[in-house]
Amino acid sequence: MLGYLIPLQLLVLSGFRLAPALRPSTGSGQSNVRHDVPTVSNRTRRVAAHRLFVDGSFVTSNPEPNDVDAVVWLADDFVDRVSRGDSEAVELETMLLTRRPEEIFAAEDRWDWDAWVEFFSRTREADGRRKGIVEVEL
């Protein structure tokens, strides 16, 4: 059994860096963990998103993580930024709409954020036990 984070609210990381060992198995068809997390993290910072959390085998004790899920709480003016043609906002919107990477999801308000936190704070096991997730400080 893989080790999950303990079921606290959110573990917050700042000064986020990935260790070289954190890369998926080649040919898995899953996200490129080393690319997607920093890309999403940097882009969400540049569009002044409220919050970002990550989950998936990337935040377990799995020695070969091969997936990452991310939820970004969009800035209040995100739609305006997209309308104005802000390149970072347009690129993030494209990522969300095309689902590339497919594991990134958006929260538009506190209700959405709390719903995603609840969803990702439970394991897929039959008992649906709680587990921790990681928030990246923006």
Residue 44 one-letter amino acid: T
pLDDT at 104 > cutoff 90: no
The continuous run of DSSP H or E covering 96 comes out as helix 87-98
pTM of the full structure: 0.73
Cα–Cα distance between 16 and 26 in angstroms, integer?
Answer: 24
List, for residues 65-88, the tens digit of each pLDDT value.
777 788 999 999 999 999 999 999
> In this structure, what token pair is assigned to residue 32?
């490129």
Would you call 135 helix, strand, or coil by DSSP? Answer: strand
